[in-house]
Structure 1
Amino acid sequence: MCDGLVQHVSSKDSLAYFDQRDTSGGHFGTSLTPVELCVATPPKTQPRHGMIEPNMQVSAIRRRGGRLECIKVRWGWSPIWSVGTMPPLTHLPLHLVMRSKVFDQIKREGRVLVAVDGWYESPEPTAPHPAQRPAYVTSRQSTPIFIAALAQACENPLGCDGLALVTYGDIASQQQRLLAFNAEDALEWLAPDLGWEQAQQLIERMNATPPHLESGVTVQRPAQGGL
């Protein structure tokens, strides 16, 4: 599970990747090419310039009025029905989001993309060596990874604003992966008519060619004091 994002790409640059691709209705139905991921050494820049943890601000891309725009929102969403009773949601399974009525509004109005250089991923609880350090996951290409997310962002925040990353995977084993795209396919997530049936097709196509992760490489995550 992701527990830290590295986001050096600027809002302006992240929008530039869609200049030649954006259409008001998205382009759902094309063949997806899952982003090629690898485990690598994290960037050598100072962590405080790009390292993002839950409860910190993250830049996201959303569609409003047929146009794409960037917003700043806290990583960690507190729905009105959970305020004071549970910690902010940092991750949400796609199947739950698309099938539960409590998420109707945010799945309709709050689908966003988060452009990142990579993320820190904790080992699965069932891993042979649970004390293993988090891995830094990034793209083999020199372009950002676009992660699917849900965000509630109001002009006058009422304490509920925030963002949760969307995951998918094997429900039974509870092994979830981030729903990550390259720029060519990322607009699938922002298609206005995306419903549960289309989301299932999206998962099936993503699972057809699962992301490739090199094994045996772990990295030490920067100390929180440097953020």
Structure 2
Amino acid sequence: MSSALASFQETARLLYAEASPLVRFMQRGRPYICPMDLLVRQVPAGAQIFDIGCGSGLLSLHLVRTNHIRGSMGVDTSSDAIESARRAAANLSDQLRGRTQFEVVNGTDDWPDSQFDAVMMIDMMHHVPVSIRRTLFLEAAQRVKRGGRLIYKDMRSQPVWRASMNRLHDLVMARQWITYCPSETVREWAGEAGLKLSLHQTYDALWYAHELMSFDR
């Protein structure tokens, strides 16, 4: 087991011990599926981050627990996921607990107006209706301060067999038939928002195919 994987496993074990069996299983298994260590490398040290579609908060909480960032604001449309994130955050040390915030949102109108050192959109765009994806991305880009970074990761549509396995995953876990957002489209939106591509990387884990892009302002 790599040191990065072991570190995430420790975060999952320590913070989600009181979660439901399903949430515990998902948080402990996520580092095997998602290249979390690559994401951590893209987050500037000492950053204040905005985690859009944060789910149960594992990445944000790990960044806080390991003192990689100054603080985090996580939002998600799922009240169950946010409740899981808040319960996990309660298991942080007294010193760190106040550096996290998790809120349920219904749309971008509920997002904070402030800007952040880093904005994260991790594995969420394929769940977003096609009709609002551009608006959501541009709203996210507006939250990136000058000198800041937008970190975007989603599942790849190729090869087809890996994309099909991820579709099956989301059909079972989220009860949703997902659609992929082409990376060329995301890059166009980023250019429209005044962001410059600084990293474009693909990664395979188990039967999942990932695509990571970082954009700087």
* TM-score normalised to structure 2 length: 0.25
Q: Which structure has the highest strand share of the two?
A: 1
* TM-score normalised to structure 1 length: 0.24
Q: Which structure has the highest helix share of the two?
A: 2
